Amino acid sequence: MNESKAMILGCSGLSLTPEEKAFYKAERPWGFILFGRNISEPQQIAGLVAEMRESVGWHAPVLIAQA
């Protein structure tokens, strides 16, 4: 595993775009944050979290912003 950078990133929608996946892979954030725009139903959230973690290659923490 490459060392992660001290930053937490979010995404624009309910799933990752190819650009977001490439950016996360290159930048290696410490973790991710989900906002209301990223949440639809439990299965979708699980898929999004899996995509995020797969993009960085490790079990990165995922935070949820409370509205």
Q: What is the DSSP letter of 33?
A: E
Confidence band, pLDDT 50/70/90 cuts, at residue 13: very high
- How many CB atoms sit inside 10 A of residue 11's CB? 22
Is the pLDDT assigned to residue 1 strictly greater than 90?
no
Instruction: Say whether 13 sits in a helix, a strand or coil.
Output: coil
Is the pLDDT assigned to residue 7 strictly greater than 90?
yes
What gap in Å lies between CA 30 and CA 27, rounded to an integer?
A: 9
Give per-residue pLDDT as tens, 23-33: 999 999 999 99
What percent of the chain is modeled with pLDDT above 90?
A: 91
Which ranges of 1-67 would DSSP assign to H, the alpha helix? 18-27, 42-56
This prediction's pTM: 0.91
Instruction: Provide the token pair at 26.
Output: 């290159």
